[in-house]
Structure 1
Amino acid sequence: MPYNWSKSDANAPAQELQLWPHQSLPPKGYAGFILATFILILIPLVPLLGSVLLWGLLPFLLLAVGGLWYALDRNHHNAQVLEILTLTDKDAHLIRHNPNGAAQEWQCNRYWTTTQMHETDGPVPHYVTLKGGGREVEIGAFLSEDERIALFEELNRALRK
Structure 2
Amino acid sequence: MPYEWKTAPDAQLQEMRLWPHQSLPARGFAAFVLATFTLILIPIFTLLGTVLLWGMLPFVLMAVGGIYLALQSNYKSRQIEEVLTLDADSARLIHTNPKGEVKEWHCNRYWTQVLKYERDGPVPHYVTLRGEGREVEIGSFLSEEERVALYDELQRSLLRGT
Q: Give the TM-score of the pair, scaled to structure 1.
A: 0.97
> 1:25 aligned to 2:39?
no
> 1:71 aligned to 2:52?
no
Report the counterpart of residue 99 of structure 1 in structure 2.
98
Residue 4 to residue 13, structure 1, CA distance change in 2 (3 Å):
same
What's the secondary structure of 2:107's corresponding residue? strand
Deviation at 1:10, TM superposition (A): 2.3
Q: Give the TM-score of the pair, scaled to structure 2.
A: 0.96
Q: Distance in 2 between matches of 1:37 and 1:124?
A: 33
Q: Distance in 2 between matches of 1:123 and 1:33?
A: 32
Report the counterpart of residue 6 of structure 1 in structure 2.
6
Q: Distance in 1 between matches of 2:19 and 2:29?
A: 19
Aligned length: 160
> 1:114 aligned to 2:101?
no
Q: Which runs of 5+ in 1 are unaligned?
A: none
What's the secondary structure of 1:72's corresponding residue? helix
Q: Which string of whole-angstrom CA distances, capped at 9 and with x for unpartnered residues, describes residues 124-145 of structure 1?
A: 1111000001000000000000
> 1:160 aligned to 2:155?
no
Q: Distance in 1 between matches of 2:9 and 2:157?
A: 17
| Percentage identity across paired residues of the two chains | 60
Q: Which string of whole-angstrom CA distances, capped at 9 and with x for unpartnered residues, describes residues 77-116 of structure 1?
A: 0101110000011100000111111110000000110011
Residue 117 to residue 12, structure 1, CA distance change in 2 (3 Å):
closer
The amino acid across from 1:92 in the alignment is A
Q: Distance in 1 between matches of 2:23 and 2:64?
A: 20
What's the secondary structure of 2:55's corresponding residue? helix
The amino acid across from 1:26 in the alignment is P
What's the secondary structure of 2:42's corresponding residue? helix
Residue 118 to residue 12, structure 1, CA distance change in 2 (3 Å):
closer
Q: Distance in 2 between matches of 1:152 and 1:11?
A: 24
State the Cα RMSD in Å.
0.9
Q: Distance in 2 between matches of 1:38 and 1:124?
A: 36
Report the counterpart of residue 144 of structure 1 in structure 2.
143
